[in-house]
Amino acid sequence: MSSIRILNLSKVYDDSTHAVKQINLNIDDGEFIVLVGPSGCGKSTLLRMIAGLETISDGELYIGDRLVNNLEPAERDIAMVFQNYALYPHMTVYKNMAYGLKNRGFSASEIEERVQKTAKMLEIEQFLTRKPKALSGGQRQRVAMGRALVREPAAFLLDEPLSNLDAKLRVQMRVEIKQLQKRLKTTSLYVTHDQLEAMTLGDRLVVLNQGQVEQVGAPLEVYNRPETLFVAGFIGSPSMNLIDIDHLDKSINAHALSSLPKGTDILGIRPDCLSSSQPNEPSIQLECNMTLFEPSGAESHLYMSLKDQQQILIMRVESLKQEFSEPYFKVYAKIKDIHPFNKLSGKRTD
Amino acid sequence: MVDNDRWGNLLAHCILIVGVALVVFPIYIAVIASTHTGSTFLSGTLPLLPGKEAWTNYTTVIFEGRSRAGTPPIAQMLWNSFIMAMAITIGKLSISLLSAFAIVYFQFRFRLFFFWIIFLTLMLPVEVRIVPTFQVVADLGMLNSFAGLSIPLIASATATFLFRQFFMTIPEEMLEAARVDGAGPLKFFKDILLPLSITNIAALFVIMFIYGWNQYLWPLLITTDPSYYTIVMGIQRMATGGDSEPLWHLVMATVVVAALPPVLVILFMQRLFVKGLTETEK
Amino acid sequence: MQTKKLTFRNAWLPYLLLAPQVIITAIFFLWPAGQALYQSLLRQDAFGFNTTFVGLDNFTRLFQDDLYVNALQVTLIFSVGTTLLSMSVALLLAVLVNRMLRSRDTYTTFLVWPYAIAPAIAGILWWFIFNPSIGILPYFLEMLGISWNHRSNGNQAMLLVIIAAAWKQISYNFLFFLAGLQSIPHSLIEAAAIDGANKFKRFWTIVFPLLSPITFFLMVVNVVYAMFDTFGVIHATTEGGPAQATNILVYKVYRDGFVSMNLGSSAAQSVILMAIVVLLTVLQFKYIERRVNY
Ligand SMILES: Nc1ncnc2c1ncn2[C@@H]1O[C@H](COP(=O)(O)OP(=O)(O)OP(=O)(O)O)[C@@H](O)[C@H]1O
Ligand SMILES: [Mg+2]
């Protein structure tokens, strides 16, 4: 178990794609870090550089106190769980798990002990003699986890490990992974683009965009206080409404707007912070027209367009109300719920 | 189903049966001929039903040989053919696996250059450059040896390409997982790549064994010592060796024995053979 | 020509792995091929004492040599005949076998094994069947009023070797045609049937065009086979005769090099054959490219 220090890490591919740009990150011993970001932002590249599967173009990488830039993957004492599991198809589950230990010169009895212990922990003991082909997707996923766990490495690297599972299994495995990590306290780096996994799994969330870190922080911290427009739009589902200040009715909202920080020209409002009844505290007021009502059981979403504008807003509602069918109805957002941003710098203004 | 008319199917079966009969006919004739006495052939046309001399004829060819034509008993020739075919097959498979591994899993200088050198041999059969190749083998003192019989034939671009194609279809993550698990190149080759290639190896084994067993011109040229004769070339010496009409009953018994091993290999490994031929070849 | 994204880094191992293949290729292919090129420009006197450089003279002589021109013609007829005969029989059988559901594997088993027969043995078998005094076919042909003697009749000899060579190759063509037919989606044929095409129309307008890449591939393979792999057929039967009627190029290279010891001429013939092979390889490669790049 150890910390991971990432200093100015960069990756430029042979075709001069600049996939990772000068990333700095300190991961504490035992911490669970989740990497999120849109497709192609360099999540896998960063993870694979840490694993040693991709060369480091620039910068320094420390695992524990060791500079590992030029070490082979096997020498870095990490374990990896792949999206497609990458189990060896010709080996039994037992051999799959034992292979890494064998290559490291563990004795047969120690291998046996560790594999049995890990298999028990993951409840895959009854599959040990089967080959991967004879397992279900979920079972394969467990074996892939087992192959990583059995090594008791300094760090786990997981690249979208649950994305090949169906929705239900994904939830179940998510909880299990979290509990496992809590128990084993092994430093972990987890790549995902699933909002729920991002919010619930990690101690800290790292939001990547175009090869750069946008924000690092505890998941709720990032959710409650996105530092950039990008993070504001990316974290949260459905995503935050980002309203250009010019699209508001300046006269009605004059007072409310004057209380916003200087330089604010974009207002970020989460769908659950919009309401059709006027609150008795400072708020802004929008005139909208309903385009679609989307009930989905627990909560429902109302899609609406701002008066005289193309932009679609989303509001969380309990039920479809009479007033929504009127040509224009009013919705409100409290000033304290508004995330103020500057369009040009992309940053928060408060 | 679109085609389910009965007369059409009946006609198709008829044509197929005739086709199969034509394909099987020559070997049937050979089997029949090998069961008669030599004198049957002097009296005119060959009978179409088996005779009673099978045992005598086959034991004669296999264990006694025909000293008059200068050919050893064919037991020896069968053994030679087997050694040659196995040496060619195993040689081809090994060097092709190794070079495909190098080409796919390594980045090194002159990689393309080597690739093209191997590619050049893709279709150049030994028959084309027979005289100079013979000279090289003679200069190396490899005439009348198993090394001379097999080594010049084991360079195989085809097998290298097949393995290259197959390796490219193995997911990237297989290597990545193995590297994380601490496997170096040779361990990866032995523990992961070889076991994964086993069906392809088996399929190619069938094809290459047949190729090796059926070599004709090459053994004809480089063996003058009867103890290195192979069965396929030996038959030719029996059939056209002497001035007189050949002893057909014995020639045909030899033909049957010579054809048996590769035919058995095909029949027992039909699935693999068909896969090897049509899915991977070229 | 890609590698894997992740590759091993090792200074000498890849060279070591390639060494056996490359060394054997160099010694038994590149060196002899170079020798052939070199010798094709030389001429030895009858006793092998004097060697003189003659430039392209060996080549010009070849093309003025009636025997060589004859061998070219013979090879052409032989290759085209073998390819056509073998491919058409194989296609017919494959189309019929492909209709069958239950008996498909049985027929296939009966049709694949001639692949295992060596060309020389195929030659001897048909040589025996057509043997003018004891063969079974001349006996029947006699009844039809045809007198068969491939030892004196050049055309009959040619027919004999074509049949022997084509017979052995039927299995190979059959398997490829069958694989090709099985890869045609049945829905296409059903669609054509719904469009009102009858069976023959369906075959010629849907099935055959879809088979054309395989047909092209097989054509090249069969020509290569007929030109080079059939040495055994000729050598074990007609030995090029009667009167040069079946003297194909490969057989002539061998005779001139090993029997007549005419090294310069034989080397020049080797060079021409290599050129033909290279040409066919390029054709073949076009096909590989198409298959590999989809
Ligand atoms: N081997 C490579 N050569 C060149 N460019 C590459 C290579 N691998 C990845 N890239 C590029 O680097 C960028 C980052 O890729 P990466 O795989 O890290 O994205 P990702 O964040 O994991 O995306 P996803 O969520 O889709 O998995 C992309 O623009 C990609 O096209
Ligand atoms: Mg990725």
Q: What is the CATH number of the domain that holds B148?
A: 1.10.3720.10
* Torsion on CA atoms A274, A279, A284, A286, rounded to nearest 10: 60
What pLDDT sits at residue B1? 43
A44-78 pLDDT tens trace: 999 999 999 999 999 999 999 999 999 989 899 99
CB of B10 less than 8 A from some CB of C: no
- Residues of chain B contacting A52 with CB distance shorter than 8 Å: 179-180
Task: Identify the helix (H) or strand (E) that includes residue A216.
Answer: strand A212-217
Q: What tokens does A121 get?
A: 């922990």
Burial of A3 (0-12, 13-18, 19+ CB in 10 A): middle
Integer Cα distance of B190 and B183 in angstroms: 10
The pTM (predicted TM-score) of the whole model is: 0.85
Beta-carbon neighbour count of residue B98 at 10 Å?
A: 20
What pLDDT sits at residue C293? 35
CB of C102 less than 8 A from some CB of B: no
Query: Would you say residue B8 lies in a domain?
Result: no
Q: Does the pLDDT at position B238 exceed 50?
A: yes
CB of A88 less than 8 A from some CB of B: yes
* Torsion on CA atoms B263, B267, B272, B277, rounded to nearest 10: 50
Query: Would you say residue B50 lies in a domain?
Result: yes
Query: Would you say residue B89 lies in a domain?
Result: yes
Residue A236 near residue A214 (C-beta atoms within 8 A): no
Which residue is closest to A150 within chain B, CA to CA? Answer: B181
> Which residue's CA is minimally distant from atom 31 of ligand 1?
A40
Residue A286 near residue A248 (C-beta atoms within 8 A): yes
Of A134, A135, A124, the closest CA to residue A94 belongs to: A124
**A39 CA from centroid of ligand 1 (Å):** 8
Contacts of B83 (CB under 8 A, 6+ apart): B146
Integer Cα distance of B24 and C108 in angstroms: 12
Of A77, A29, A41, A16, the closest CA to residue A207 belongs to: A41
| Inter-chain CB proximity B216 and C120 less than 8 Å | yes
**A148 CA from centroid of ligand 2 (Å):** 19
Residue C108 near residue B24 (C-beta atoms within 8 A): no
C97-122 pLDDT tens trace: 988 888 888 899 899 889 999 999 99
Query: Would you say residue B219 lies in a domain?
Result: yes
CB of A53 less than 8 A from some CB of B: yes
Split at pLDDT 50, 70, 90, the class of B200 is confident
Proximal ligand: closest to the CA of A49 = 1
Query: Would you say residue B29 lies in a domain?
Result: no
Cis omega (within 30 of 0) for bond into B219 = no
Beta-carbon neighbour count of residue B277 at 10 Å?
A: 21
What angle do helix axes B6-33 and B248-268 make, rounded to 10 degrees? Answer: 130
Task: Identify the helix (H) or strand (E) that includes residue C22.
Answer: helix C13-25
- Residue A280 Cβ inside 6 Å of ligand 1? The answer reads no
- Residues of chain C contacting B270 with CB distance shorter than 8 Å: 108-109, 112
Q: Does the pLDDT at position C252 exceed 50?
A: yes
**A43 CA from centroid of ligand 2 (Å):** 6
* Total structural domains within chain B: 1
Mean pLDDT of C196-201: 76
Split at pLDDT 50, 70, 90, the class of B242 is low
The partner residues of B93 in beta bridges, in order of sequence, read none
Query: Would you say residue B168 lies in a domain?
Result: yes
Query: Would you say residue B70 lies in a domain?
Result: yes
* CATH homologous superfamily, domain C66-290: MetI-like (1.10.3720.10)
Residues 97-136 of B with CB under 8 A from C: 98-99, 101-108, 111-112, 114-115, 117-118, 120-125, 127-136
DSSP characters over C234-273: HHHTTTT-STTTT--HHHHHHIIIIIS--HHHHHHHHHHH
CB of C33 less than 8 A from some CB of B: yes
B77-133 pLDDT tens trace: 899 999 999 999 999 999 999 999 999 999 888 888 888 888 777 666 777 778 888
Contacts of B191 (CB under 8 A, 6+ apart): A99, B178, B183
Cis omega (within 30 of 0) for bond into A327 = no
Residue A171 near residue A1 (C-beta atoms within 8 A): no
Pocket test for ligand 1, best of A43, A53, A190 (most atoms within 8 A of CB): A43
> Which residue's CA is minimally distant from atom 28 of ligand 1?
A40
CB of B225 less than 8 A from some CB of C: no
What pLDDT sits at residue C259? 82
Question: CB within 5 A of ion ligand 2: which residues?
Answer: A 44
Integer Cα distance of A304 and C253 in angstroms: 86
Determine the longest span between alpha carbons in chain C, in angstroms: 78
What percentage of residues in chain C have a pLDDT greater than 90? 32
Query: Would you say residue B121 lies in a domain?
Result: yes
Task: Identify the helix (H) or strand (E) that includes residue A267.
Answer: strand A266-269
Fill in the amino acid letter for C197: A
- Residues of chain B contacting A51 with CB distance shorter than 8 Å: 176, 180
Contacts of A279 (CB under 8 A, 6+ apart): A332, A334
Q: Does the pLDDT at position C294 exceed 50?
A: no
| Inter-chain CB proximity B105 and C8 less than 8 Å | yes
B180 vs A54, B47, B60, B176, CA distance in Å? 12, 71, 63, 6
Proximal ligand: closest to the CA of A36 = 1
Q: What tokens does C102 get?
A: 């239950």
Of A216, A267, A270, the closest CA to residue A243 belongs to: A267
C25-47 pLDDT tens trace: 889 888 888 888 888 888 876 66
The SS3 call for residue C43 is strand
CB of A79 less than 8 A from some CB of B: yes
Which residue is closest to B187 within chain A, CA to CA? Answer: A103
The SS3 call for residue A265 is coil
The SS3 call for residue A348 is strand
- Residues of chain B contacting C4 with CB distance shorter than 8 Å: 104-105, 168, 172, 175
User: What is the domain extent for residue B144?
Assistant: 34-278
The partner residues of A12 in beta bridges, in order of sequence, read A18
Residue B136 near residue C27 (C-beta atoms within 8 A): yes
What is the CA C158 to chain-centroid distance, rounded? 15
